[in-house]
Amino acid sequence: MAKKDGQLSGVKEIARRANVSIGTVDRVLHNRAGVSPKTRDKIKAIIKELDYQPNLLARRLASKKVIHIATLIPTVSKDTSFWSQPLQGIMRAEAEVQKYNIKVDKYFFDQDDKTSFVNQTKKIFRVKPDGVMLSPDFVDEATAFTNKCSKLDIPFVFIDSDIEGQNSLSYIGPHLYDSGYLAANLVSYILRENESVLLLNISQRMYKHHHLLRKEEGFRAYFIDNSLNKKITKVDIKKSDRHSIEKEIAASLTKNKDIRLIFVTNSRVSLVAQCLKKLKKKLILIGYDFIEENIKALVDGDIDFLICQKPGEQAYKAVMSLYQYIVLNATVDRMQFMPIDIITRENYQFYKN
């Protein structure tokens, strides 16, 4: 019965059954404001009952209105090529949605300069986008930006790291705590008794909400939860040049003779590999991300394990989630966690970001 009704009916039938105007039904179909929760629920129930499927894609193709999706990510730095992967994901999604009159406007900021982030957000607001995807590297500035997005009814999606309490459409990225927890599990199989870990956070921004600290929290929790009494020496390195990293590593190894393994909480692990070679130290090295410089060090035997969470796929899914929500009026999962993969010399050639 529902299927037959669905074939025969349309917006007029939904409006008749709900005893509302066609305009009210249209606002619900396009997820626009101006409808009470009670009426919205009633209309949605009728839509479900009738199995009504509006041909939104055909409508988009016929429409001349351009939908703008803004993406805001860091520029690729000299220290790591990590952000080249999300950019590729954005471009892949863009190629799929542009035929529906959707334009992806790309904005980039300097990871070491919060002013550049703020300036880019100002540019985005001038365009008045229909949706935004961003990496919230600067928490306070990103919060101010997304608060304004919420006031303007602009949906936004976070990638790479999340900000709790923000009304984001979705977070697409790693479960940071579990990522660190997994790394510690791996370490527990490697270290022998009386051997310790050097944990390196390499970032200029080590405030209390920084995503690297969530990985560290998960890493430490594994040893506590499993009653493993392993010594962890932590060093926060706020300069990412090789000389600064080498100096900090040398000091730690001199002071702690029992260190056998280094865990780097981000993609700068290849820089650590270079420093160890310069210091002529052979230690087990674990870090993050399937990027060109890390793959080379992995193949050369200078990195032992890479933990990877598909940054390109994160950005691709973020743009597509905005497309599905804005154009298809589809529901999007609030949390979309990426798989946590462990890559070695033996399996790297079969892995895709």
Say if residue 7's pLDDT is above 60: no
Report pLDDT for 55.
66
User: Using CA atoms, how far apart are residues 185 and 183, in angstroms rounded to an integer?
Assistant: 5
Q: pLDDT at position 226, please?
A: 96
pLDDT digits (tens, 9 = 90+) for 217-255: 999 999 999 999 999 999 999 888 889 999 999 999 999
Question: 176-308 adopts what CATH topology?
Answer: Rossmann fold (3.40.50)
pTM of the predicted protein model: 0.80
Domain 2-54, CATH homologous superfamily name and number: lambda repressor-like DNA-binding domains (1.10.260.40)
- Who wins on pLDDT, 29 or 242? 242
Class of domain 61-173+311-338: alpha beta
Question: Where in the chain are the domains?
Answer: 2-54, 61-173+311-338, 176-308
209 pLDDT higher than 60: no
pLDDT greater at residue 33 or residue 348: 348
DSSP-derived secondary structure for 133-152? EE---SHHHHHHHHHHHHHT
Please indicate whether the domains covering 2-54 and 176-308 agree at the CATH topology level: no
Residue 254, token pair as written in the block: 């001199």
- Torsion on CA atoms 186, 285, 76, 308, rounded to nearest 10: -20
